[in-house]
A = this chain, B = another copy of it.
Amino acid sequence: SRSIDLAVIPGDGIGQEVVAEGLKVLSAVLPQDVKLETKEYDFGARRYHATGDTLTDADLEQLKQHDAILLGAIGDPSVPSGVLERGFLLKLRFAFDHHVNLRPSKLLPGVATPLAGQPEIDFIVVREGTEGPYTGNGGTIRKGTPHEVATEVSVNTAFGVERVVRDAFERAQARPRKKLTLVHKNNVLTFAGHLWTNIFNKVAEEYPEVTTDYIHVDAATIYLVTDPGRFDVIVTDNLFGDIITDLAAAVSGGIGVAASGNINPSREFPSMFEPVHGSAPDIAGQGKADPTATVLSVALLLRHLGYDTEADRIEQAVSADLAERGALPARSTSEIGDALAVRVAG
């Protein structure tokens, strides 16, 4: 008999509310024979204020036992900027070697976009998750003086770049359009740029069916608003991926529907799935948050664990729900969750 052993991290702000709906839909979609076990972990601002901890070695040992992790949101204005980001979110990505940060962008029927003319948008971004300027390399000298110097080092390795580039080629190969775009800034960041470009071109030889191209990150932001339909799969580094996936989410329906997976494809450690939106403390606890991004993150989680049929059912339910939204009065977080649970069960 099959089973899913899930670590659940509701986190801060609206995290609690949206994760509850994610789990509701997950329970509803799973066949009877799949045993779902969940264990909730209290990470984030509350824990930090109570203990000063963000994520300890003992925490990591426990999390490691699970098949996957579902996260709501981490972050609160009461905690200094960077503490939870570096101390929890990034620490987890690095500890569990989440090198494939997967972010699909699909403009679903009925969903509003800030772009004129309702363009067709359906691409995925494969963002590297463990290198680049996210490594924490760098430092400060003469802090607080007029002679302060602060550096940030982007670290890029052949090992780290090649594995994520290969993952992106595999994903491109499996899609109907079979197109992969490398986004970087290789005309200025020439050291990292050459590494990325050379590896991209080398791996491309093994995928003759995949059409490839290269775009500078600044130009990519232009295409994302003038011609987003040109993209199928994008592969890019950690920082560029951070920036363009927020823009991609904005043009394809907003961060209310943007899902993401922090994936370790080797499954050596559990992968983590989370909505792209943050903790949104201004609307927390009011039942106003849209749980759709979390529900779509659950679909990514299921696909990662091999439950493709169930992932498809969730994505179809979300499409159907979004298509009808315009005609419905505004619903609460749990009403949307209920509606999706009914659809996936039906």
Contacts and interface: CB of A to CB of B under 8 A. Distances in A.
Contacts of A146: 158-159, 162
Contact of A217 (B187, B197, B243): B243
Interface in A229-287: 239, 242-247, 249-251, 254-255
Interface residues of A, number: 69
Number of chain copies forming the complex: 2
A136 B191 CA distance: 9
Contacts of A153: 138, 151-154
A150 B193 CA distance: 9
Nearest to A226: B114
18 contacts: A82-B187, A82-B188, A82-B190, A86-B187, A115-B115, A115-B116, A140-B191, A140-B195, A146-B158, A147-B158, A149-B158, A150-B195, A151-B154, A152-B189, A153-B154, A188-B239, A226-B250, A226-B254
A139 B191 contact: yes
A152 B186 CA distance: 11
A155 interface: yes
Interface string A36-75: 0000000000000000000000000000000000000000
A219 interface: yes
Contacts of A190: 81-82, 86, 136
Given A81-B197, A150-B195, A152-B154, 18 more contacts: A82-B186, A133-B152, A133-B189, A138-B189, A144-B198, A145-B158, A146-B162, A147-B158, A149-B158, A151-B154, A152-B156, A152-B191, A153-B153, A188-B239, A217-B243, A221-B243, A222-B255, A243-B243
A155 B154 CA distance: 11
A204 interface: no
Contacts of A243: 217-218, 221, 243
